């Protein structure tokens, strides 16, 4: 019953520090993505991947890196944290292709940059 698992759930960083948010899914989904959620702005896509070895930028990619070495894992790296990156981050996955695919979300990672 694991689904999409994200760690850590809470993190406080100092400006300029780097860190990695981990994401793993056990549903053999080709597609994985990272969103950030900010008040009044809904969810915005940061990066996504349609399969191992393939990544692409979403709406707000600056300051973040991703890689997809396996189908299961899709870590998000903050290179040099800034207060503007204080947000809630969600990893998501789904099957690729077709219509009406449900996207499954992790429980979120609350990040504060001070």
By C-beta, is 61 or 104 nearer to another protein?
104
Element (H, E) at 36: strand 31-38
Backbone angles phi, psi at 83, to 5 degrees: -55, -30
- State CA 48 to chain mean position distance: 8
Nearest distance from C-beta of residue 40 to another protein, angstroms: 6
* Antiparallel, parallel or unpaired: β 104-105 and 87-94: antiparallel
71 makes contact with another protein (CB under 8 A): no
By C-beta, is 17 or 103 nearer to another protein?
103
Residues contributing to the site for another protein (CB under 8 A): 4, 31, 33, 35, 40-43, 45, 48, 50, 90, 94-108
């Amino acid at each position: 019953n694991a689904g999409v698992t994200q760690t850590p759930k809470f993190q406080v960083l100092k400006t300029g520090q780097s860190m990695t948010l981990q994401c793993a899914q056990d549903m053999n989904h080709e597609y994985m993505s990272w969103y950030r959620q900010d008040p009044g702005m809904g969810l915005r896509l940061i990066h996504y991947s349609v399969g191992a070895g393939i990544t692409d930028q979403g709406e707000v990619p600056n300051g973040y890196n991703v890689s997809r070495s396996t189908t299961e894992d899709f870590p998000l790296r903050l290179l040099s944290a800034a207060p503007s990156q204080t947000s809630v981050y969600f990893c998501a996955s789904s099957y690729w292709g077709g219509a009406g695919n449900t996207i499954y979300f992790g429980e979120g990672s609350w990040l504060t940059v001070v």
